[in-house]
Amino acid sequence: MNQTLSIRPFKTPFLKDFVLSPAILPLQDKEIIQMDQELEKYEQLFLDPEVEKNLITRNELLASFAISKAEMSTLTLEEAQEVYHLILKNEKYQSISQKLKKGLKLTQKDHDKLEFYNIANTFRLFNSQPFALKDLTGAFIQNLHRDLTRGLDIFKNHLPEFELYKSGKWRDNNLIRVGTYIPADFSLITQGTEELIRYVQKDTSPTKIAIFHTALYALHPFNNGNKRISRILEHLLLRALGLNKKNLYSSSYYYHKEKPRYYKYLLYSLERKNLNHFVSLVQEALSLSIVSVVGLSLQSKRSSLLDNQSKELKTILKPLVKRHELQFKHLFQKIKGKMARQTFVNYLQQAVDTKTVIKRQQGRSTYYSLYIKSEEQETISRWLALVGSKLSYIPDEIRLV
């Protein structure tokens, strides 16, 4: 590493060993902030209110689900939705107390449902009220951990090899390992956490929040539940900075979708004491999560375009809701076996004739896309041009929307 590019953001023991090279981070703070501001303007002018409402609810569910899956939950999305409905109705999760009254054994699934309930309930609570940077204290972080892990330590009597959470209390031992990585000595947690809080509260920026996320996890302040704490705090700090005001997107869900890369770069940062690896992933997650919001809005408009089409055309054109354009052979591949080729060709030509679909010839290949003029497509194209020149990786589901 070129030492002239490297800085050491922290001074306290353990944290002072971590380095950062700001010049080689993929994105600048002003670029992320500008994208978020454009999203806010887009939401005000173009986003359908019903789509917006669905996006907010969807984001709360998926972000909470993603955070729970970071802790290796066995919960399916359908099971998470069932628990989430209790929260929407302001009902308590009583399944565990009911089982205990009957003398029944608690299972891993019981644990995972209560874990998700705690996460989703806490996430929803904080999204409904303001959070200021000055509110971030060591006591706040401990109380947040208590809320996220409430009641989970009861499972020590029911599950083998259960790792205690010790809700709301700093780690009091040096037994924890993350792979081969050894976190800070437990005696340094209070001092380290206080420095991180001072660091992120001064001249706060998206990059500083990403550094805070990485360094807090590196400290490993709690016996268990450190990923969920780091992710929730990242979300709260970004909103305190003025980003994601409507809670339309979530970097946590991006981490879930890119789980192998999430763990890879997190461990790289921990083992090498190099903040760049994971901070770069946070920047990637933020920028592409913003792109995804407009992508989902565009998909909603494309889907609406198919509402008045015949059943056959809906089946043929459905793949074009999530993809901007598909080659003929790929479009036919998705329906092969359900419809004769000539029938498929006839329906597709009908869609072209009625200007439902645009046909584009490139060499010997033919491409099709839904005919729709929208602010979303222009915005996505411009954003992807920006991040595409800076990021080494963009998932196909975002790049090809």
Inter-CA distances, 203 with 135, 234, 244, 275, 289, Å: 15, 16, 18, 18, 24
List the structure tokens of 240.
């305190």
- Model confidence at 386, pLDDT cuts 50, 70, 90, reads very high
Q: 223, 76, 74, 62: which is closest to 159 by C-alpha? A: 74
Mean pLDDT, the chain, whole residue set: 93
In terms of Cβ atoms closer than 10 Å to its own Cβ (0-12, 13-18, 19+), residue 234 is buried
- Looking at residue 351, what is its pLDDT? 94
For 153-203, the pLDDT digits (tens) are: 999 999 998 999 999 999 999 999 988 999 999 999 999 999 999 999 999
- Looking at residue 49, what is its pLDDT? 87
- Model confidence at 338, pLDDT cuts 50, 70, 90, reads confident
Q: What is the pTM for the complete model shown? A: 0.92
Cβ contacts of 382-385, under 8 Å, gap ≥ 24: 383/35, 383/287, 383/290, 383/291, 383/294, 384/291
- Model confidence at 332, pLDDT cuts 50, 70, 90, reads very high
For Cα atoms 363, 364, 370, give the angle at the middle one, nearest 5 degrees.
Answer: 85
List the structure tokens of 98.
């009911």
Q: Over 60: is that where the pLDDT of 3 sits?
A: no
Spatial neighbors of 372 by CB under 8 A, at least 6 apart, are 301, 302, 305
- Looking at residue 1, what is its pLDDT? 43
Where exactly are the structural domains of the chain? 3-15+46-275
- Looking at residue 51, what is its pLDDT? 82
- Model confidence at 47, pLDDT cuts 50, 70, 90, reads confident
Encoded amino acid at 274, one letter? N
CA–CA dist 275, 327 (Å, integer): 41
In terms of Cβ atoms closer than 10 Å to its own Cβ (0-12, 13-18, 19+), residue 57 is middle
Q: Over 80: is that where the pLDDT of 102 sits?
A: yes
List the structure tokens of 124.
């929803």
Provide the β-strand partners of residue 366.
Answer: 361
Kind and range of the H or E element at 355? none
Give the SS3 label for residue 360.
strand
CATH number of the structural domain 3-15+46-275: 1.10.3290.10
Q: Over 70: is that where the pLDDT of 204 sits?
A: yes
Q: Over 80: is that where the pLDDT of 296 sits?
A: yes
Spatial neighbors of 56 by CB under 8 A, at least 6 apart, are 246, 247, 248
- Looking at residue 189, what is its pLDDT? 98
For Cα atoms 103, 105, 109, give the angle at the middle one, nearest 5 degrees.
Answer: 135
CA–CA dist 226, 211 (Å, integer): 15
CA–CA dist 18, 3 (Å, integer): 13
